[in-house]
Amino acid sequence: MRKQILALGCFGFAVLGGAVVYAQSSAPALRVVPMGEAPPAKKAPAKKAPAPAPKASATKAAASKSTSTPAPAAARPASPAAASAARPVAGKPAAAVAQWTTPPAATASAANAKPVASAPTAAATSKVAFPQEDWRVLNPENALIYETTKGRIIVELAPEMAPNHVARIKTLAREGFYNGLSFHRVVADFMAQGGDPKGDGTGGSDQPDLRAEFSFRRGTSTNFVRAVDRGGATIGWVGTIPVTSQTDFLMERTSDKKVAAWGNHCLGVASMARGSDENSANSQFFLMRAAYPTLDRRYTIWGRAVVGTDVIRALKVGEPVVDPDRMISVRVLADVPEEDRPTVMVQRTDGPSFQARLKATLEQRGAAFSNCDLAPEGRIVR
């Protein structure tokens, strides 16, 4: 069996963020136990283990090819409001137009705390001016369109960050692999997991597992827009994917004149589920419903929703979900007939309007600023 969950560790036990993770020898689930408490009693192995459990259990890969989604157990939300409510969880564009796109604004908590800039919805507009210095056209070859039982989600892909994962997602979409599959595990204020043909977190495609692409190399040619430098790192966006990176200063000291960079798990980010083996991602993925920085550099980010973050947050919650929402169809946007294909405009992170928002947010948030605090808007114009 293939177990796709948010894995918190490997077999045995590990210390993660002030919690001890005990792994049951029978394989069903990893349980997060606060430091100082005794590990839970072992239970008889279940026939199938649930995906990463947010309440205090992260399910472990049941077989050699396990896949998982991030487990919020040892992770803490980005905002103070979220922290107080959190509980352990185991569980081709026009010329001169960029090829990236992404909208969701990150909120740290979800229900009660409001982010500095809220994520745009999929509002369709037709007669609005989009100045080229502020807006760009989403490249249809670099985007997926999900038609779900709750509405439409459009995700911009990030081949510069995770080329192999992007290629896999596009291949499976073009094969119709995801059509009809469910969001089998959806955790409030965390993420929505899908892409399992079995619908229980143990399935995958017949393709080989992928090697992790948790980070990438950023050079001067990378489309990176800086927000602020902090603690020896630079925070910003690659296109509209939130990214943290080593500073430019270090480029002169590396043989390839590049520095390490990695994506950040903000609202709307699309990431790959895997098992305890870092190189076990296959077909299952998850879409972030809130910011969870503890997932960074532990799961491969391959895109971000530019339209439909409201849909992601509206998906039916459960572990597993009873009568779950489904993906009616998942297609590469370029494969949609031109007469039916929506045109999506995305706010440029290097444009004057976004930069004005960034300045205001930095002044408001100060040292607490995160690139999850705001995101460029995405709008369907046709």
List the domain range (segments joined by +) for residue 188: 92-380
Q: How much is the CA Rg of the chain, to the nearest whole Å?
A: 20
The Cα–Cα gap between 208 and 168 comes to 10
Q: What tens digit of pLDDT does each residue of 273-294 get?
A: 999 999 999 999 999 999 999 9
> Which pLDDT score, from 0 to 100, does residue 70 have?
54
Asked if residue 231 has pLDDT above 60, the reply is yes
Poorest-pLDDT segment among 40-44, 91-95, 190-194, 284-288: 91-95
Question: pLDDT > 70: what percent of the chain?
Answer: 66
User: Quick check: 265 pLDDT over 80?
Assistant: yes
Report angle CA 197, 203, 209 to the nearest 5 degrees. Answer: 115
Task: Evaluate whether residue 4 is within a structural domain.
Answer: no
Per-residue pLDDT band for 301 (boundaries 50, 70, 90) equals very high
On the question of pLDDT at 118 being above 60, the answer is: no
pLDDT average, residue stretch 350-375: 96
Is the confidence at residue 100, as pLDDT, over 80?
no
Q: Give the count of domains, the chain.
A: 1
Does residue 77 fall inside a structural domain?
A: no
Contacts of 22 (CB under 8 A, 6+ apart): 13, 30, 31, 33, 39, 40
Band of the pLDDT at 362, cuts 50, 70, 90? Answer: very high
- The CATH number given to whatever domain includes residue 185 is 2.40.100.10
Q: Is residue 28 part of a domain?
A: no
Of 193, 204, 203, give the one whose Cα is nearest residue 324: 193
pLDDT confidence band for 69 (50 / 70 / 90)? low
Measured at the alpha carbon of residue 156, what is the angle toward residues 154 and 158, in degrees to the nearest 5?
155
Report the distance separating Cα 244 and Cα 360, nearest Å.
20
Any domain includes 175? yes
pTM of the full structure: 0.72
Domain-embedded: residue 354:
yes
User: Is the link from the previous residue into 320 a cis peptide, with omega within 30 of 0?
Assistant: yes
Per the domain annotation, does 116 fall within a domain?
Answer: yes
Is 50 exceeded by the pLDDT of residue 57? no
Q: Residue 93: is its pLDDT beyond 90?
A: no
CA distance 103 to 90: 28
Residue 68 confidence (pLDDT): 58
Model confidence at 102: pLDDT above 90? no
- The pLDDT value recorded for residue 107 is 35
Mean pLDDT of 91-105: 32
Q: Is the pLDDT reported for residue 116 higher than 60?
A: no
pLDDT digits (tens, 9 = 90+) for 129-186: 899 999 999 999 999 999 999 999 999 999 999 999 999 999 999 999 999 999 999 9
Tell me the average pLDDT of the chain: 77
